[in-house]
Amino acid sequence: MERILYFFLLFLFVNLHDIISLGDIMGIFSKLKKMFGGAEEEKEEKVVEEIDDETLEDSEVEDDEEEITEEDDLDEEVEPLTEEKKEKVKIYDKGLSKSRGGFVSKLQDLTRRYSKINEDYFDELEEILIMADVGVNTVMELIEKLKKRVNDDKITDPEELKEVLVDEMFIIYVNDEILTNKINYNDKDISVILFVGVNGVGKTTTIAKIASKLKKENKKVMLVAGDTFRAGAVEQLREWSERVGTSFYGGGEKDDPSSVLYDGIVKAKEEDCDVVLVDTAGRLQNKVNLMHELEKMNNVISKLVDGGCCETLLVIDATTGQNGISQAKAFKEITNITGIVLTKMDGTAKGGIVLAIKSEVGIPVKYIGLGEKEEDLVSFDIENYIYGLFKDMI
């Protein structure tokens, strides 16, 4: 049953049909390693050479030699990564280095310190996962599953449990749902995307980065300054629009955001824009006001745009951990959030927040910020994420 589930999940979410067709049972992580390892070709070649030498020298490890030959065959089956995909692997790699140095190295250390799996080992594992922002409920679920695997498969060595742990994390994220990282664009009318989130999480810079990406796709973009509350917010967005080279609409400070949005969409339609990106003020301190403000903005969009607002993206700062999760829960109560942008992942050593978002908030992460530069904001991809985190561990 477990095996069928694995293959089903892989079939749906991992593009590894070639390997699956070979029918061998490998962990999910091993498959990711096969797929993404190509992005670090030079390093990989060296390792293969070393292994080959050892195998030739030592006749006792004939079985291993056979395995390696098999894996080499597998390598041939894996489609080489495109330059774009290789670039993405590198961005995740770089952006997750702090988490590898923190969260993941603690896991490695745990494995080294215990020669046998026991209650103490699980207690420590639990603590490491909780400290890594994985979220208490998710950690409990994960530990239960691992204990069951240890029992069922008679695993005693922590070394053996490493890959199971990573696989189970992947399964928790993927679960039985189809989580899409795709942005919904409006195919009938102009696409209006609202960005919400508390101050300082990275809304304005995220808008600028996405605007720049859209421009490269030859889309005509308008930025609308709906954060009329905070002094300087309108000016900041105007500067970004000039830097990126997009249209801009902003009213005066303290103007009603909905009326600014109304005029902005009218102007965007006159200019024949494809996408309108709307900055908003994230005053979560006053939930009722914020709820009414967002409701009004949504009504304006519905009035002017066939199909209404196509995305409401909540921006969360990964370095705020559990606080970010609380923000997501609060925003979810006051408006219909369709996706999450998780910024500043490069600034945290914890790395587990993605799993907490999945299990405690249940909204797909659509973009992840892995640095301050435009190219560091990438569409979220659980395979790249899991590989980037655990590539040195397994």
Ligand X SMILES: Nc1nc2c(ncn2[C@@H]2O[C@H](COP(=O)(O)OP(=O)(O)O)[C@@H](O)[C@H]2O)c(=O)[nH]1
Q: Where does this chain bind ligand X (CB under 6 A)?
A: 197, 199-205, 315, 343-344, 346-347, 369, 371-372, 376
Binding mask 174-213 for Mg ion (x = CB under 5 A): -----------------------------xx---------
Separation of alpha carbons 256 and 254, rounded Å: 6
Which does residue 200 bind out of ligand X, Mg ion, none, counting CB within 5 to 8 angstroms by kind?
Answer: ligand X
Q: Which of residues 203-262 bind Mg ion (CB under 5 A)?
A: 203-204
Residue 384 phi, psi dihedral angles, 5° rounding: -60, -40
- Measured from the CB atom, the residue of 307 and 371 that comes closer to ligand X is 371
Q: 32 or 192: whose CB is closer to Mg ion? A: 192
Q: Which does 335 bind (CB under 5 to 8 A by kind): Mg ion, ligand X, none?
A: none
Q: Residue 222 corresponds to which amino acid?
A: M
- 360 burial via Cβ count (<10 Å: 0-12, 13-18, 19+): middle
In the complex, least distance from residue 38 CB atom to ligand X, rounded to whole angstroms: 26
Query: Which partner from the list Mg ion, ligand X, none does 38 bind, CB cut-off 5 to 8 Å by kind?
Result: none
Measured from the CB atom, the residue of 335 and 384 that comes closer to Mg ion is 335
Which is nearer to ligand X, 167 or 317 (by Cβ)? 317
Coil, helix or strand for 223?
Answer: strand
Distances (CA, A) of 144 to 3, 51, 135, 343, 361: 18, 36, 14, 30, 21
Strand partners, 174: none
Between 167 and 227, name the residue whose CB sits nearer to ligand X: 227
Q: Which residues contact 13 (CB under 8 A, 6 or more apart)?
A: 174, 382, 383
What does 347 interact with, of ligand X, Mg ion, none (CB < 5 to 8 A by kind)?
A: ligand X
Please say whether the beta carbons of 111 and 165 come within 8 A: no
Q: How many helices (H) and strands (E) does the chain have?
A: 18, 8
Coil, strand or helix at 59: helix
Residue 278 near residue 253, CB atoms below 8 Å: no
- In angstroms, what is the minimal distance from the CB of 318 to ligand X? 8
Any contact of residue 343 with Mg ion (CB under 5 A)? no
To ligand X, the closest distance from the beta carbon of 343 in angstroms equals 4
Report what 344 binds from Mg ion, ligand X, none; CB cut-off 5-8 Å by kind: ligand X
With CB under 5 to 8 Å by kind, the binding choice for 308 among Mg ion, ligand X, none is: none
To Mg ion, the closest distance from the beta carbon of 239 in angstroms equals 11
Cα-flanking dihedrals φ and ψ of residue 195, to 5°? -115, 120
**Residues of this chain that bind Mg ion (CB under 5 A):** 203-204
